Every structure is written in C-alpha cells, then in structure tokens.
Amino acid sequence: MIRTPQILHKQEWLAFLFHRHNVHLASFHTFSNYCRIWIISIAILAVTSLSPLVMATFINHRLIQQAVDAELVLQTERVTSNAKRSMRFFLEERLNALRFIVNELPYYALIDNEHLEEILGNLKLGFGGFTDLSIIDADGSQVAYAGPFNLEGKNYKTQPWFTRSIESDNFISEVFTGYRDVPHIIIAVRSINALGRLFILRATLDTQRLMDTLLSYKTNVHTDIFLMNHTGQLQTPSNTHGKIFTPTRLDIPKFSTTTNVIMPESERDHAFIIGYSYIITEAVTTPFILMVYKKKSGVMGTWLNLGRTFNWIIYISCLVMMIIITLVSTFMVNKLYLADKTKAETMMKMEQNQQLACIGQLSAGIAHEINNPLALINETAGYLKDLYHFADEHQNDQEIMEHLDDILEAVARCGTITSQLLGFVRQFDVQTSAVNVEKLITGILRFHKKETEYKGIHVTTDIAPDTPAIETDRGKLQQILLNLINNAFQAIEANGCLDITVSHLAPDQITIEIKDTGCGIPEENLKRIHEPFFSTKKEKMGTGLGLSITYGLVKKLQGNIRVESSEGVGTIFTVTLPVKMKKEDTA
Amino acid sequence: MKQIDILIIDDEVKFADMLSRRLSLRGITCRACYDGLSGIQWIKENPGAAVLILLDLKLPDLYGTQVLAHIKEIDPAVPVFIITGHGTREDEKACLDLGAVEFIHKPVSIEKITTLLTHARGEVQ
C-alpha cells in the first residue's frame, strides 16, 4: 500500500485538535470529542497528583503557623509577666519605703525640712528614683519639702491627685508633668499625726528609672514595651504608637488581674501579638497597663522565610508537574485518537468490502433465478418471431416484428446484466504470467481506433522506459484497463484528450494513470463510484457494475485504485500494481 | 439409429420445446430430454447419433456434471455445451475439466446455437 498524504498527516503531533468531522467515519469512531477527553484527562491527572501535594503544603503551613504563634504567645506572655512583676516591685518597694517612714518617724520629725532632706538622701541611696519629698496636710498646703525645686508653701488643694490621695491610704498617680513640666509620677501615703489630723507623705518619682526598668525587657527591635493609662494615653514612649502622652486608639483590654496575650483579628494589628497586664500592687491599684507588642514577622522571620522558600519550591514543582501532565495527556490522547482513527478507517473499509460482498452474493442469487425465466422469454419471443417469419403470414407486418425485436433486445440486455453480475461475484483463480503493460495498452487502444478518429480524441501514452514486465493475471489486468479506458472514452467529448502514463517509481510497484478531459465526477459521487449498480450514465448506457468489478479485480491483483476528479475538468484514475504478486494470494 | 443434430438435456420443458421448435424451423433436427437419466439412456441407445449436446446443470435427478461424466464415458468425442442459468465458478471449472467445450449462461441467442452447430459439423467432417 502506498503512503498517501493522508496517512502521513496521521503521524502529526496534536492531530486530534485538528480533527475534522467526517460523516462517513464518525459512526466508526469510539469517541467523538477528543478535546473534551484531553481536558478531562489533564484535569483528573492534575487533581489527583497535585491535590495531595497542595493539601500537605497547606497543612504543613498551618502547622508551622500554629507552632510559630504558640511560641510567640509563650514568649510574649513570659516577657509581659516578667516586666509586670518588675513594675509592681518597683512601685511597691517605694510605696513601702514611704509607709515605713511615716510609721517610724513622728510628725514633727517629718515636718523638719532638714530632717526631710536627710530622709530623701537616704531614699535616693537606698532605692533610687526619688526626686523630692513633701509633707502635705489635710488642707492641701505643703508643710515641709525636700528636693531640687522650691515648692514650699504651695497649696495642692485643687490638684486632682491630692483629692484622690487624701481619700485613700496609698496612692500612685499617672505620669504627668505638673508644675515642673517634667514627666513624673507621684506616690503618696496617708497617715495621722499626733493631733489626729490627716497628712500625706508625697514623693515624686523619676520616670527615667521606670522606663529603664521597662526597656531592660525589650530583647530585640521587634518588641515594643510601654505603659498606658486606663484611657489609652501613653505613659512611656513607644516605638509603634508615638511619644509619651499621645492618646492611642487602642482598644482598652479587658480588666484582668493576670497576664494575657491576645492576637488581634483586625487587619492593621494582624502582624502583631499583644501581651498586656494591669499593674496592681498589693496596696493599691495603679493606673498603668503594661503593653507588650511583638511583631510576628520580625520575631519569626526565619520561620516565615523558610515557609516562603518552601512555597516557591511547591509552586515550581506544581508547574513542572502540570507541564508533564499536559505533555503526557496530549501524547496519550493523540495516540488514542490515531488508534481510533485507524480503527474507524479499517472498519469503514471492512464494511464497504462486506457491503460489496453482500451485494455481490445477492445479485448473483438474483441473476441465477432470473436467467431461467429470461431464457424462456427469449426462446418464446424468438419462436413467435420465427413463426411469423417462417409462416409468411405476417412476414411483412412491420409492427409485430418491431415489438418482437424490442422484447428480444430487452432480454439480451437483461442477459448482459445478469452475466456481469455473475462475473462480479465469480472469482477466478489468478493465473500469473509476465505481462507487458505497454503491449496490453496498445492492444486495448486499437479497439478504440475508430472511435478515436471519429470523435477526434487526442490519445497520448507515456510509458517509462524502465517499466518492467509485471507478474500478474493478464486477463484481469486487461479487463481493468478495458473498463477504465472505456469509461474515459465515454466521458470524453469531441476533441478531448486521453493521457495514459505508466511509471515505475517504487522498485516493487508500477503506477498506471489514466487521465481524461471528460465531464468529471461530482464530489458527492466520488465515494460511491465503486458501489455496485451506482451509475450516472443515462439509460441503457451502463449497468453500474463496471467500476465495482474493476475495484474488485485490482484488489485481487493486490493493487490499489485511486480516483481524483473535478467536475468539468476531468478524471484521473491511478492504479498501482505490484511488480510481482505475493504467493499466498495467487494460490 | 436415427441421426440428429442437437440433443437438448434440460428440465425446463417449455424452454427445451421452444428451442427445439425454433431449431426445427431452421431445418435442424433436435431431441429434447427432460432429465439426466433419460438423456444418458438416449445416448446409450444411439451412440454417436448427435452432432452436439446442450446440457443444463440443474436437473431433477442428476447434477449436470454427473450427466456430463456419463456422456463422456459413452461418447468422448461428442461436443457438449453447458447452457445454464446457474453455475458457479466451481461448476464451470468442473465442467471444463470434464471435457465440456464451453460454459454458456442463459439466455442464449438462437444464432449462437446455430453457429455452434456449424462449427461442430465442420469439425466432425
């Protein structure tokens, strides 16, 4: 079999994407929509292979995230709790020192300025962080003062801290600037003098000491530790929220006596983890809330970077897998398509052959059954004619004679059809001998000599000089060529051309091309020309068996026949025959 | 023993009759047998009496090939033509192997038969 361009086309990569719907082949295809199969196969492969990977990555990511968060919470909690304890101790220690002083020393000793200076000196030595000391009586007027500012005789009656400190035994103020314009904290203890009057021992604490203590817990740049009051105003400077006394817009955390850690849900604070604690001394509730802000990305940067790298690896491997999946799917679907196409083509050919065989058997049966009555009609009509002819009675009755001749002619025509039908089924043994194709063609053309001259047909034969004598069945080849050349002559109008070319292109086969400039065959008929009884010739001209017999004969000679035609231009029949027939078929 | 031109062995009575009548009109003497056995019988009784024999394949008693074999046994020289409406390629091959001159499909023209006879006479003489 020669490799036609169509067969070459089949080898194409992605052939299924360019699949053209063919009505004749469609019913033999197992699948119809290859693009859909392709997409489904890619989708299934992608889902089954990528989803475990993606899920594992996701779970892993979540686990890392959770571990990181848990670790952060723990860290933050620890820092917050330690800082809180220090703060509480810092304030309690100083408050207790004051309490000790008022309980130990009599009132008159306290209101002595010199003595008070001495006490302040001792406090600074013993504890540090004290700026000044003063004794204030119940009316708010300062009785004694020790410190760097000359505040003697001042009245604090209108100051809010005074009203609050006179109401309770112990007092710790917020950070404020007061008269001195320096941030400071006031701590005060209340006591009663010998006259039964209330008085206050007030000390001003330097906020720097407090801040230093706080900052000592700041382990890295990603941590921010600060104090704020119960209204959200900063009491110490903060990296993230601004200078001292800046009102923050933070949600005031819920009151709790213990240390807490929260992870904010809001977008803005999402990057942080917040630890907080209300600072409560044993004696008094302070106005401070200790806040610890930890930046997640900063603290757990290594982990997050690792996660990011891991994600990149996953993305790239997903991409590689998708490419492989696509290539494999394309390859497999294409193979499937090609196999299906070959199968469909084979099945179509088989069905055509089977149809031919079926029609052949049927027509042979009919031919057999018709032959006998046909013979009877023939003889009876012949006898009638004879009767008239020999009896002299109606010898000159032209009409009767004509009718009888019509019957006999019709019978003869039927006889031709039935014998052709039988010839169509009958498969004689193939008898091979060396056949000279050129001589054969010349012989056949000689039959048509008269017609050629009469119609003015230009006949050319071009036989390649290296054409060998081929081993084939002479009778069958003769019939093939006779049929094709007859057809050509019938198609060619006056002054047409008939070109017969014999070439020897492949070493083991020869090609005979019979080209006419006849009326051509319409495209819709091209597929049917080998069907028995398919004829477009006018009444009485053809039986529709010629080409189907030719087709069968060519197959019998292990050859191939191909037809190309364009309407109005002409037709080319190409017969390819083996130079030497294979043995198994000749037997 | 009477000399005749053509012996027709065919079970289609009407066909055989018509053919023999038509041939008679042309001055050709015929004898029609409607089954194999009577045909063989006639040849046995009149060996060498027929110039040629027209034999059908489908006969009610014997198959054409069997009749042909018998004829060739009795009179190998007589030309036998098979005229049949049926006939497969196996039949054709078998008949030709058994010595039939030609395998002809029905319907056949009267001219063809007269030509055959002319040829047969020529060969005989």
What digits encode the pLDDT tens for the residues A456-505? 888 888 888 888 888 888 778 888 888 888 888 888 887 888 899 999 88
pLDDT at res. A10: 45
Is A185 within the bounds of a domain? yes
> pLDDT band at residue A263, thresholds of 50, 70 and 90?
confident
Per residue in A135-181, pLDDT (tens digit) is: 998 888 888 888 887 766 788 888 888 888 888 889 998 888 876 67
Which residues of chain A lie closer than 8 angstroms to B107, CB-CB? 371, 374-375, 377-379, 411-412, 414-415
Which CATH number does the domain housing residue A82 bear?
A: 3.30.450.20
What A310-317 contacts at long range (C-beta under 8 Å, 24+ apart), as own/partner pairs, is A310/A57, A310/A60, A310/A61, A311/A57, A311/A61, A314/A53, A314/A54, A314/A57, A317/A53
Which residues of chain B lie closer than 8 angstroms to A426, CB-CB? 88-89, 92
Is A333 within the bounds of a domain? no
Distances (CA, A) of A67 to A64, A72, A73, A304: 5, 8, 10, 12
Query: Do residues A551 and A531 make contact, with C-beta atoms less than 8 angstroms apart?
Result: no
Domains annotated for chain B, with CATH where assigned, are 4-124 (3.40.50.2300)
Per residue in A343-380, pLDDT (tens digit) is: 888 888 888 777 777 777 777 778 878 888 888 898 88
Number of domains in chain A: 2
Task: Calculate the average pLDDT of chain A.
Answer: 82
Residue A484 neighbours by CB distance under 10 Å: 24
Is A316 within the bounds of a domain? no
Which residues of chain A lie closer than 8 angstroms to B64, CB-CB? none
Instruction: Please identify, among A267, A299, A331, the residue that sits at the C-terminal boundary of a domain.
Output: A299
Instruction: Please identify, among A299, A327, A342, the residue that sits at the C-terminal boundary of a domain.
Output: A299
Contact A379 B85 (CB under 8 A): no
Distances (CA, A) of A446 to A69, A132, A336, A556: 104, 144, 53, 26
Alpha helices in A392-473 (DSSP H): 398-425, 437-447, 449-455
Is A382 within the bounds of a domain? no
Q: Is the pLDDT of residue A587 over 70?
A: no
Q: Is the pLDDT of residue A20 over 80?
A: no
pLDDT at res. B81: 93
Residues of B in CB contact (< 8 Å) with A are 12, 14-15, 18-19, 21-22, 25-26, 84-89, 92, 105-110
| Mean pLDDT, residues A118-125 | 91
Query: What is the spatial distance between Cα A234 and Cα A246, in angstroms, rounded to a whole number?
Result: 5
Write phi, then psi, for A86 (nearest 5 degrees).
-65, -45
Is A549 within the bounds of a domain? yes
pLDDT at res. A83: 92
Per residue in A102-117, pLDDT (tens digit) is: 999 888 888 888 899 9
Q: How large a percentage of chain A has pLDDT more than 70? A: 90
> pLDDT band at residue A429, thresholds of 50, 70 and 90?
low
**What are the respective helix, strand and coil percentages of chain A, to the nearest 5?**
50, 20, 30
* Nearest CB to A379; choose among B18, B92, B105: B18
Query: Do residues A266 and A251 make contact, with C-beta atoms less than 8 angstroms apart?
Result: no
Which residues of chain A lie closer than 8 angstroms to B92, CB-CB? 426
Query: Do residues A135 and A142 make contact, with C-beta atoms less than 8 angstroms apart?
Result: yes
Query: Do residues A459 and A498 make contact, with C-beta atoms less than 8 angstroms apart?
Result: yes
Distance of CA A412 to the CA centre of its chain: 72
Is A344 within the bounds of a domain? no
Closest residue of A to B107, CA-based?
A375
Query: Do residues A432 and A586 make contact, with C-beta atoms less than 8 angstroms apart?
Result: yes
A25 versus A427: the higher-pLDDT residue is A25
Per residue in A379-399, pLDDT (tens digit) is: 888 888 888 877 766 666 778
Q: How large a percentage of chain A has pLDDT more than 90? A: 15
Contact B84 A371 (CB under 8 A): yes
Strands B4-9 and B50-55: parallel
pLDDT at res. A533: 62
Q: Is the pLDDT of residue A446 over 90?
A: no
Query: What is the spatial distance between Cα A137 and Cα A191, in angstroms, rounded to a whole number?
Result: 10
Which residues of chain A lie closer than 8 angstroms to B18, CB-CB? 376, 379-380, 382-383
Q: Is the pLDDT of residue A417 over 70?
A: yes
> How far apart are the CA of A402 and the nearest CA of chain B, in angstroms?
17
Contact B22 A426 (CB under 8 A): no
CA R_g for chain B: 13
pLDDT at res. A538: 54
ipTM of the assembly?
0.85
For A:279-308, CB contacts with B below 8 A are: none
Q: Which residues contact A407 (CB under 8 A, 6 or more apart)?
A: A377, A381
Domain hosting A523: range is 429-586
Contact A390 B88 (CB under 8 A): no
> pLDDT band at residue B38, thresholds of 50, 70 and 90?
very high
> How far apart are the CA of A347 and the nearest CA of chain B, in angstroms?
29
Q: Is the pLDDT of residue A1 over 50?
A: no
| Mean pLDDT, residues A430-443 | 82
Per residue in A72-88, pLDDT (tens digit) is: 889 889 999 999 999 99
Per residue in A298-335, pLDDT (tens digit) is: 766 777 788 788 889 989 999 999 999 999 999 999 88
Which residues of chain B lie closer than 8 angstroms to A411, CB-CB? 107
- Which of A491-500, B33-42, B63-72, B75-84 has the weakest average pLDDT? A491-500
Query: What is the spatial distance between Cα B21 and Cα B110, in angstroms, rounded to a whole number?
Result: 11
* Nearest CB to B107; choose among A369, A374, A426: A374
Q: Residues in chain A, how many?
A: 587
Query: What is the spatial distance between Cα A53 and Cα A440, in angstroms, rounded to a whole number?
Result: 74
* Nearest CB to A426; choose among B85, B89, B109: B89
Is A495 within the bounds of a domain? yes
Among candidate residues B106, B81, B16, B24, the one with its CA nearest the CA of residue A411: B106
Angle at the Cα of A361 from the Cα atoms of A359 and A364, rounded to 5 degrees: 105
Which CATH number does the domain housing residue A536 bear?
A: 3.30.565.10
> pLDDT band at residue A9, thresholds of 50, 70 and 90?
very low
Pair (A433, A292) in one structural domain: no
Which residues of chain A lie closer than 8 angstroms to B15, CB-CB? 372, 375-376, 379
Instruction: Please identify, among A299, A330, A354, the residue that sits at the C-terminal boundary of a domain.
Output: A299
Is A377 within the bounds of a domain? no
Contact B21 A383 (CB under 8 A): yes
- Which of A22-31, A200-209, A336-345 has the weakest average pLDDT? A22-31
> How far apart are the CA of A409 and the nearest CA of chain B, in angstroms?
11
Task: Calculate the average pLDDT of chain B.
Answer: 87
Which residues of chain B lie closer than 8 angstroms to A427, CB-CB? 89
Dihedral, CA of residue A161, residue A165, residue A168 and residue A174, to nearest 10: 50
Per residue in A520-571, pLDDT (tens digit) is: 887 777 777 776 666 666 544 556 667 877 888 888 888 888 888 888 888 8
